[in-house]
Amino acid sequence: MLDRVVGMGLQLALVPILAAHWGLELYGTWAMLVALPGILLLSDLGFATAATVRMTMQIARGEREAARVTMHSASQVVLAAGLAIMALAVTAALLVPDSALSFRSGADPSHLRTALLCLAAYAVLIIANGLVLAVFRSNERFALGSLLSTFTLLLENGLLVIVITLGHGIAAGAMALLVGRGMGTVIGLIVAARLRTGMLPGLRRGNRAVRGELIGPALAAMAIPMGLTLLLQGQVVALGAAAGAAAVPAFVAARTLSRMGLQLSQALAHPLIPEFGAASARGDQRGVLRMFALVLTVATLIAAGFALLLAIAGPWIVHTWSAGHITVPRETMWAIALSALCGGIWNPVSNLMLAINRQASFAPALVALAALAVLVTLALGHWLGTMAAALSMAAVDLVMLIIVLRFSLYHWARPPDLYRTVMALAGEARSEAGRFLRRG
């Protein structure tokens, strides 16, 4: 969770820095370009994630040679994905016309082409870094892997800030991310090698049979990040293409702010995921009901409070936070607040579905809805601006809330049982608070 917290803090810190040094149009163009790595990360089809899970189970059973074959099979796919990404990036840099690259921002097309190539290489390194992290996670060194991931985030973004404050532009910023990620990946490989697990990425032992066995879990693992990437990053690109780069910063700033509450809810729900899976496997319906009620209640309280804050003071917060460089229309912030409310509830609850391997019940809908939202933003962005992206994102979160709650109430709790459990949890919380106050 450390890397998530640091990542969110870095996003918050970068907004006023980028807006102040680059201006809204250049910042908007940058926001569209840095969405590219998130989209390109889907090109490995989830093999790194699937390989990590498979290796963890194999090592736990003492099957280290089989785990090595899994690592090398996934490495072959990642290498092919990396070559495809770079081939696509080089082709785009050579063939895409200047008018399609500028996004009406006035940025130098040659700088944008350089940034495009650097960010494509950056995406390749992120995919490769997933294999490096798999070494730590599969060998029960999760904390060390998380620490290295956090260090890499700080390194690459620190270099980015240095480049920006020295007065350099988009091309240099993309190079800074690439250099920082490259250094972090090399350091991760060195540390992984010193562990002497025998599980470093490689190609020699990979085979077609294992790659075939990984396809199913890999595609299932990919569906959720694919939907979220389309919803968060695809919307940025669509808005910039439809309304121009200058429209992007207001949406990005409001969206980033709205996800603060979601990150808090996710952090509180995350420790319950393994316990929920174990309770479900044991057939402990009472335990399942209590944990579902707890996650739903806490997520709802946090999401409702944060959405209210955004609806009332969101524009002022963004204006103050960006040092007056970014202004978000109040109507756009209302739509963002609705998205924060719905998303802040369905995301933590869907983690419980992941704990019992039922992501197929919502992931396809997320992908389809997110793709539809991108199309809506492309179609309406020219006329509605940031409101098009905010409304379509809110609509996706609202429908996903309905889908996830429908599944949860059908499988885990009838409304009367849920109500009684929530009231019981509230009573327990009041009792604990009273005891705490008396001790104080």
Q: How confident is the model at residue 44 (pLDDT cuts 50, 70, 90)?
A: low
User: What average pLDDT does the segment 125-144 reach?
Assistant: 85
Residue range 242-269: mean pLDDT, rounded: 88
Is 89 or 45 the better-scoring residue by pLDDT? 89
Query: What pLDDT does 371 receive?
Result: 95
For residue 249, name the pLDDT band (cuts at 50, 70, 90).
very high
Contact 242, 382 (CB under 8 A): yes
Higher pLDDT, 187 or 268: 187
**pLDDT the model gives residue 312:** 97
The whole-number pLDDT of residue 440 equals 56
CB burial of 299-330 (b: ≥16 within 10 Å; e: otherwise) equals bbebbeebbebbbeebbebbeebbeebbebee
What's the confidence (pLDDT) of residue 220? 65
Name the average pLDDT for the chain.
88
Rounded to an integer, what distance in angstroms lies between the CA atom of residue 383 and that of residue 394?
A: 18
What is the pLDDT confidence band of residue 233, given thresholds at 50, 70 and 90?
A: confident
pLDDT band at 199, cuts 50/70/90? confident
Residue 232: per-residue pLDDT: 86
Contact call for residues 345 and 293 (beta carbons, < 8 A) = no
Query: Which pLDDT does position 292 carry in this prediction?
Result: 95
Residue 306 vs residue 323, higher pLDDT = 306
For residues 153-158, average pLDDT:
94
Say if residue 345's pLDDT is above 60.
yes
pLDDT at 142: 74
Q: What percent of the chain has pLDDT over 90?
A: 52
pLDDT confidence of residue 365: 94
Cα separation, 330 vs 310, whole angstroms: 10
pLDDT of residue 405: 97
Q: Tell me: pLDDT of 19 over 60.
A: yes
Q: Can you give the pLDDT at residue 224?
A: 80
C-alpha–C-alpha distance, residues 219 and 9, integer Å: 30
In this predicted model, what pLDDT tens digit does every residue of 289-299 receive, in sequence order? Answer: 999 999 999 99
**Confidence at residue 102, expressed as pLDDT on a 0 to 100 scale:** 62
Winning range, highest mean pLDDT, from 123-132, 142-151, 194-203, 324-333: 324-333
Tell me the average pLDDT across 13-22.
Answer: 91
**Integer Cα distance of 82 and 65 in angstroms:** 26
For the chain, the residue count is 440
User: In the predicted model, is pLDDT for residue 67 greater than 80?
Assistant: yes
How much is the pTM? Answer: 0.80
Q: How would you write 26-62 as a 3-class SS string?
A: HHHHHHHHCHHHHHHHHHHCCHHHHHHHHHHHHHHCC
Average pLDDT over residues 243-264: 90
Question: Residue 357: pLDDT band by 50, 70, 90 thresholds?
Answer: low
User: Are 401 and 342 contacting, i.e. CB atoms less than 8 angstroms apart?
Assistant: yes
